[in-house]
Amino acid sequence: MTNTLRSPFFVVNPKSYLYGEEEYKLAAVAEELAVKYDVDILFTGQLVDLARIAHDFPHLFVCAQAMESLKPGRGMGHILPEALKAAGVRATFLNHAENPMTMSELTKTIARAKEVGILTVVCADDVADAKAIAQLHPDVMVCELTSLIGTGKTADESYMKATNEAVKTISPETKTLQAAGISTAEDVYKAIASGADGTGGTSGIVCAKDPVATLREMIAALDKARTDFYK
The dihedral built from the CA positions of residue 162, 98, 94 and 90, taken in this order, carries a sign that is: negative
Q: How far is CA 206 from CA 2, 25, 201, in A?
A: 29, 12, 9
State the first-to-last Cα distance of the chain, in angstroms, to the nearest integer.
24
98 is catalytic: no
144 is catalytic: yes
On the 0-12 / 13-18 / 19+ scale of CB atoms within 10 A, 217 is: middle
Show the DSSP H helices in 65-183 as ranges: 81-86, 103-116, 127-134, 157-170
Among 23, 31, 68, 144, the active-site one is 144
Among 22, 96, 165, 173, the active-site one is 96
Report the candidate in 182, 184, 166 with the shortest Cα–Cα distance to residue 174.
166
Which residue numbers are catalytic? 96, 144
